[in-house]
Amino acid sequence: MKISIIIPTYNEEEYLPYLLESIKRQDFTDYEVIVADAHSTDKTREIAKSFGAKIVDGGLPSVGRNKGVKAAQGEFLLFLDADVIMTRGYLESALQEFVEEGLGISISQIYPLSDNMFDIISHDFANFFMKYVETLKPHGAGCYGILTRKKLHEAIGGFDENLDFGEDTDYIEKIGYLTSFKVLRDATLFVSTRRTQEEGKTGIALKYAKSTWYQFTGRKISADQLNYHFGHSEGRKRILYGVCGEGMGHAIRSGVIIDHLLEKNDVTIFASDRAYQYLSRKYDDVYEIEGFNTVYEENEVQYRRTFTKNIKWVPLDLPHNIRLMYNVAKAFKPDLIISDFEFYSNILNKILRIPLVSLDNMHVITQCYTDVPEEFKRDRFRAASVVRSFIQRPRYYLITSYFFPPIKNPDKVKMFPPILREKVMELEPTIGDHILVYQTSDSNIKLLELLEEIDDEFIIYGFHKDEKIGNLTFKSFNEDEFFDDLASARAVITNGGFSLISEALYLKKPIYSIPVKRQFEQILNAMYLDKLEYGEFHLELDKESIEKFLSNQEYYREKIQSGFKHDRNQAIFNSLDEIIEELT
């Protein structure tokens, strides 16, 4: 046997057939193929068997390659990744140049399976760089056709199995110091661009730049330092998590859930707008997608403008988002999709047939019986239509809420108290001298004029300035300072946003709520706030109602004390763990 071709794999059913077919079509035939598989859960082994390959148990790439060599009969060893394709005449050309040059180890030049200009230029540069430095330092980024002699592999003890990244370059360097190294000039491989698609152009460029710098300066770098993984941790489920980017409530809630999930699972996240900005600072595996946004004007939802704005971008956003999510999902191979009111996760569920779980506060609108006055029924109809269009037929609806109307389908719907951050739950509430005012728009001048007439102190967030005018203290947003002001407030004046209302209730703060007009989710929040006597719901601001609310705040505080219950997120954590176990 002249040459043994060794391919480490983990769930490579999409790419392996193309490589094996390209090997089969070579004119040179004195070879064997050994697939060292790391316990794939897809059809990788069946595919390898159908092409007549030897199959051995693998592991991390270095482990798989070494196990492959133990089963090898060839004088020469060729190590390939599963996502490459041999060009015509590759084996004959590579072996001929290798022998004629008297080499001990070599790598191949690579060309992308893509017509994208970035991919072409970056791979051309990689080829140039490897050739430029080949006489200075034996080096190879990625296992792109490492060709060597079996006796040299055995002389250095094979690939270093203690390295979880850069084991290929370490291997090339060790053999290169014993003999001669070269980048083959004629033999070339086609390589997939899946890493660029999965991690983005900037991410993959930075990883290779960082790893190359470390290796050229004689330092080792780990997979954890580069957030690089081969396969997935055994026993851990893989969860794809989609997060709506409108407002901050979805992002903050998802952050708490993701922290819990990461204890036992691998999680990849898709998010848009503010959710992406927030989550990408906390986690590594976060991908930015385009999302939908509501248009507000003078504290009122503008449905026509919202529709016009979003429909304009759908033809561009839809293919971009689905292509990105599909490519990442094919590589990540999720066991479950969780959506916090994120539209495209729902579409991915229908394409890939992966179980979907909905986790948000929005579905109280469609999955519960709510008692709504006639004047708001049109708004409810619009809101319900939107909610239904975003998520269809998940396996479970997990709904967070501080009010608990009757559930329509108890077999599929579970309700829980609001999800709160640990930072909020650690606050010690006191009753201070001020009222906290939070506005999401700085155009509400009427509110300021009313507050100036009231004999009380107000700390106001949302106007993007630091200034004191009479009894009004304006503050730019700072999370720590905001929490301190919230914890020490006597009461809260805000819109109908779910997150702040939930945090205020946990801290036993009465709430005066002026929801955004025609925004039914906020209207419903405010209605139940009023119904449970945790505070008051008002469509319009006036001095008399604010003063009346402030005079009754002690009564509302007692109602919150006796009525609002929270379990520090334990019930939803436990239920989610059970659902993951059930569905995966």
Q: How far apart are CA 117 and CA 119, in angstroms?
A: 5
Q: Edge-to-edge strand order for the sheet containing 76-80?
A: 54-57, 31-37, 3-9, 76-80, 144-149, 105-112, 181-191, 84-86
Q: Could you say which DSSP state residue 368 is in?
A: B
Residue 50: which of 94, 13, 79 has the closest Cα?
A: 13
> Given pLDDT bands bounded at 50, 70 and 90, which one contains residue 146?
very high
What distance in Å separates the CA atoms of residue 396 and residue 415, rounded to the nearest whole number?
Answer: 11
Band (354; pLDDT cuts 50, 70, 90): very high
**Pairing relation of β-strands 356-360 and 396-400?**
parallel
Interval 247-273 mean pLDDT: 92
Residues 457, 473: Cα–Cα separation, whole Å: 8
Range with the poorest average pLDDT among 24-33, 284-293, 337-346: 284-293
* pLDDT of 132 over the 80 cut: no
pLDDT at 193: 67
| Fold held by 3-226 | Spore Coat Polysaccharide Biosynthesis Protein SpsA; Chain A (3.90.550)
Q: What are phi and psi of 530, to 5 degrees?
A: -70, -45
Q: Identify the weakest region by mean pLDDT among 14-18, 76-80, 202-206.
A: 202-206
pLDDT at 574 (0 to 100) = 97
Q: Of the given ranges (139-148, 519-528, 552-561), which has the lowest mean pLDDT?
A: 139-148
The pLDDT assigned to 205 comes to 46
Q: Please say whether the beta carbons of 496 and 443 come within 8 A.
A: no
Q: Is the pLDDT of residue 443 over 90?
A: no
The full 3-state SS of 70-114, as one line of letters, equals HCCCCCEEEEECCCEEECCCHHHHHHHHHHHCCCCEEEEEEEECC
Q: Tell me, what's the pLDDT at 531? A: 97
Class for domain 428-563, per CATH? alpha beta
CA distance 572 to 570: 6
**Does the pLDDT at position 52 exceed 90?**
yes
The ranges of the chain annotated as CATH 3.40.50.2000 are: 237-420+576-583, 428-563
pLDDT value at 138 more than 70:
no
Higher pLDDT, 183 or 505: 505
Whole-angstrom distance, CA of residue 517 vs CA of residue 499: 18
Is the pLDDT reported for residue 449 higher than 80?
Answer: yes
pLDDT > 90: percent of the chain: 58
Please list the residue range(s) of the chain that carry CATH number 3.90.550.10: 3-226
What number is the average pLDDT over the span 136-149?
72
CA 86 to chain centre: 34
Confidence of residue 263 (pLDDT cuts 50, 70, 90): very high
pLDDT value of position 200:
44
Residues 337-358: what's their mean pLDDT?
Answer: 92
Instruction: Say if residues 500 and 492 touch (Cβ distance below 8 Å).
Output: yes
**Cβ atoms 118, 205 nearer than 8 A:** no
pLDDT in tens, 313-342: 444 556 777 778 887 887 788 999 999 999
Given a cut of 90, is residue 54 above it in pLDDT? yes
Of 177-181, 386-390, 423-427, the range with the highest mean pLDDT is: 423-427
Instruction: Look at residue 309 in the predicted model and tell me its pLDDT.
Output: 46
pLDDT in tens, 466-511: 999 999 999 998 889 999 999 999 999 999 999 999 999 999 999 9
Give the pLDDT mean for 369-378: 93
Quick one: average pLDDT of 123-140? 68
Confidence (pLDDT) at 191? 85
List the one residue out of 34, 44, 24, 33 whose CA is nearest residue 333.
44
Residue given tokens 């059930």 in the structure block? 582
Indicate the pLDDT class of residue 141, thresholds 50, 70 and 90: low
Q: How many residues does the chain have?
A: 584
Q: Give the residue, 227 or 323, on which the prediction is more confident.
A: 323
Distances (CA, A) of 487 to 236, 435, 503, 510, 555: 38, 11, 9, 12, 18
Is CATH 3.30.2400.10 the classification given to domain 237-420+576-583?
no
Q: Which of 151-165, 298-312, 353-367, 454-468 is the least confident region?
A: 298-312
When pLDDT is cut at 50, 70 and 90, the band that residue 176 belongs to is confident
Q: Which amino acid is at 234?
A: E
Q: What is the pLDDT of residue 512?
A: 97
Q: Is the pLDDT of residue 303 over 70?
A: no
Q: What pLDDT sits at residue 298?
A: 53
pLDDT tops 70 at residue 391: yes
Given a cut of 50, whether residue 17 has pLDDT beyond it is yes
pLDDT at position 185: 87
Please say if the pLDDT value at position 310 is more than 60.
Answer: no
pLDDT > 80? residue 405: yes
3-class DSSP state of 174: helix
Question: DSSP characters for 388-448?
Answer: HHH--S-SEEEEE-SS-PPBS-TTTEEEEPPP--HHHHT------SEEEEE-S-TT-HHHH
